[in-house]
A and B are shown apart, each in its own frame.
Chain A
Amino acid sequence: MLRMVPLPMLGRNLQVYQYDTYDQSIVDARVAEFRDQVERRLSGHLTEDQFKPLRLMNGLYLQLHAYMLRVAIPYGTLSSTQMRVLGDIARAYDRGYGHFTTRQNLQFNWIKLADTPDILEKLAKVEMHAIQTSGNCIRNISSDQFAGAAADERTDPRPWAELLRQWSTFHPEFSYLPRKFKIAVIAADEDRAAMRLHDIGLRITQQDGVAGAQVYVGGGMGRTPMIAPLVNDFVPLSDLMSYLEACLRVYNRYGRRDNMYKARIKILIHEIGVDKYRAEVAEEFAHIKTLGIDPPQAEFDRIAAFFADPAFADTTADAPVDRSDAGFAAWLDQNTHAHKRAGYTIVTISLKPTGGIPGDASADQIDAMADLAEAYSFAELRVTHAQNIVLPHVRSADLRAVYDRLVAIGLAEANLDLITDIIACPGLDYCSLANARSIPLAQKIADRFADPVRQRDLGELKLKISGCINACGHHHAGHIGILGVDRKGTENYQLLLGGSGAEDVSLGKITGPGFSEDGVVDAIERVTDRYLAERTDGERFVDTYRRIGMEPFKEAIYG
C-alpha cells in the first residue's frame, strides 16, 4: 500500500498544511480533468450550459469583459512560495493584478479560458487549486485570519478547517446542492470571520476536556440576510463529519430547487423552523454515525502537527519599540494586534490605500509581501475577509523594518477597521449582475475621509459596499452599509446603519430613500457628524447607533 510521503515542494519548517502523495494525486487529477473538460468545451462537445457548473466548480466565472478565476486560499493561510506563484500568475495571465476577496480567496479578473488548465497546473505545483471556489457545492472553508497567533484564541482552528477541506472536496453527495454552501470555523470569542453569517458556522470549544464545536446553521447574506441560529451546542470532534453530513443531507433533500432565491439553507430553516431542522438532523445523524465516516483522532493529530508553533525566538529581553515617529506610531496603533507570544506582534497590511481598489494588489506588491513574510514572519501570510493581508508572527523588534518596507511599496496605510478600510464588491466595473459601481464609490468615500486624524477620531467604523442585492460586499454586516440599486435606469445607493459581522453580529437597517453617488457620500458625512455629536466616551459608531437608534441619524440625513 502507498504510504504517506511528505512532498518537498513548500520547504520544511512551514506552519501550513503540506500535501502528501494522496493530496497531490487528487489535485493533479483535478487539473487533468479540467483540461479535458476545457478541451471538450472548446471543441464543442460540451454546451456552455453543461460546461458552466464544471467551470464554476473550478472557480471560473464569466464576467462582463473576461473570465474571472477564483483561486482557493484555504482558511486564508498561505506560504510565501504560494504567494509568489500568485504574483507570477498575475503577471503572466492577468493584467498584473490580483484581487483578494471577502472569502479569503484571490481573484484574477482578466483570464482566458484556454489558459486556465495551465494556470491550475502552476497552482497545483505549489499545493494550491481553485476547487469549489464557486458553484452549488461546499465552498472554500474560511476561518480567523489570526489563527495560531491571536492572544485570545482557545486553540488553532486551522486543523479543523483542513479536516473540513478534505471532507468537503469532491463530496459525492453534496456537489449539486440547491445552492452554494459556505462554512466558517473560529476558535476565539472575538469573531473575525463573520461566522454566523455563513451557512454553517463552527466555534471550537471544549466540554469536560473533550474538543468539539458549537454548530450554527442557516446564516447568510444575499437578498434575505439571516443570522445563523445555534443548532447544536456541542458536537465532539469524533462526531463532527457525521453531524455535518446530517446537516447537509437534510438540506439537500428538502432544500428548494424551484426558486434559486429561496434555495439557501437559511430559507429552509426559516420555513420549517430551527427546532424541526434540529430534530431532523438528529435523526439523520443517528443513522449516519453508524457508517463509520469520521476520521480517527490520529488523522486530526497528523493535520494539527503541521500547524505547530514556528520556532519563536526568545524575545523576553527585546527593547521596547521606539514610537517617536508619529506615522509609525499611528500604524502600530491601528494595524497591529496582540500576539499570543510576548515579543511578537500580528501585523495587518492594509490593501486599502486612498484612491486604490479595495483588495487589489499588483504582482510586484504580492512579491514584496512574500519577501516580507520570508524575512519577518516565518514565510507565512494570511488573507482577511476584510480584503487585507496579515503577517502573523512578526518579532516586535522588527516592526520598524516591516513598516519602512511597507512605506516603500505603498502599503503602509494605517487605516485598519477605520472608515477608509472599505470592503467593496467588484460592482458594475466587472460584474454582470451589478446595478451600480462599487469601486469608484469606495474611492470617493476614502477621498472624503482621507485625513488620517479625522479617520482615527471616528474610530472603528466598518463600511461595506455591494453593487447589488447579492451582497458580495457584506453591506448587511457593515456598521455603515451601502447597497447599489437600479432606480429607473440610473445608479442609486441605499444606506444602511447598524450591521456587524463580528461577535456582536447584527443586520443593518435601511435609512430611507436612496442617493446618487455624491449624495451618498454626503449622507455618510452627515451620519458621522451626528455620531461625533452624540457619542459618549469610548463609544464606537455602532455602539452609539445601538444606544440612540435610527431616528437621530435619519433626521441628520433627510432633515
Chain B
Amino acid sequence: MVEALRLRDDAAHDEPAVTLDAFLGQSNATAVRIEAGDDARLLLPHLDRLALIEVSFPKFRDGRGYSAGRILREAGYTGELRAEGDVLVDQIPLMRRCGFDSFAPAAPVDPAALERALERYDHVYQAAADGQVPVWKLRHG
C-alpha cells in the first residue's frame, strides 16, 4: 500500500479500512472505505466511532468524492478523511477545500509541485469545508 500523505498532526490510524457493506453489516470497525458510487450519507449515524474514512477516486475525472468529502465534514466528522486512487497533484488543493486531509495517490506526487499548489491561492470565492474565509466575507468584515 502507498504511504498516505497526511496533512494532520495526529498519529496515523493503523486499522485497515473495510468496505461500506462490511462496515454497515457488522462490526465495530473504525476505518471504512467508500467507493465513488457509494452514498456517504449512510455513514452519518456512525461518524463518532470512525477514525478514518477513505474515499476512492477511480479516475481523476470522477468527481463524486468531492461531494462525499464535504457531506462528511458538514455532518461534523473530524477524523481522517483520505482521498485514494487517481489523485493528481493539481486536484489536491480542491480536495482539501472539500475536507480531505490525507491523500494516497496511486502515482507518486512531486512534493515540490504539491507545495506550490497548496500555497498558490491566498483567497477563495466560496465557503467550503476547510474553514477558509471567502472573499465576500473579507469584503464586508
Contact = CB atoms under 8 A, between A and B. Distances in A.
Interface of A: 1-2, 4, 20, 22-23, 25-26, 29, 32-33, 36-37, 40, 45, 50, 53-54, 136, 166-167, 169-178, 241, 249, 252-253, 257, 287, 291-293, 295-296, 298-299, 302
A287 B44 CA distance: 13
Contacts of B124: 26, 170
B66 to A, nearest CB: 5
B121 A26 contact: yes
A299 B64 contact: no
A48 B120 CA distance: 23
Given A1-B138, A29-B120, A33-B120, A172 B128 contact: yes
Contacts of B67: 173, 249, 252-253
11 contacts: A2-B138, A4-B138, A26-B123, A29-B121, A171-B125, A173-B63, A176-B66, A287-B74, A292-B127, A293-B134, A299-B140
A171 B141 CA distance: 22
- Which one of B62, B88, B125, B127 has the greatest number of beta carbons of chain A within 10 Å? B125
B15 interface: no
Contact of A136 (B61, B88, B122, B125): B61
B42 to A, nearest CB: 13
Contacts of A1: 138, 141
B74 A45 contact: no
Given A53-B61, A257-B36, A167 B70 contact: no
B126 A302 contact: no
A173 B136 contact: no
A170 B94 contact: yes
A29 B122 contact: yes
Interface string B103-141: 000000010010011001111111110100011111111
Contact of B94 (A175, A257, A295): A175
A479 B128 CA distance: 44
B51 interface: no
A302 B139 contact: yes
Contact of B113 (A40, A252, A257): A40
B73 to A, nearest CB: 10
Nearest to B88: A50
Contacts of B62: 176, 257
Contact of B66 (A32, A172, A287): A172
Contacts of A170: 94, 121, 124-125
A25 B60 CA distance: 27
Nearest to B62: A257
B66 A252 contact: yes
A37 B141 CA distance: 34
Contacts of A175: 63, 66, 94
Interface in B80-100: 88, 90-91, 94-95, 97-98
The 9 closest A-B pairs by CB, nearest first: A176-B63, A172-B97, A295-B136, A22-B135, A172-B94, A299-B136, A293-B127, A166-B125, A173-B66
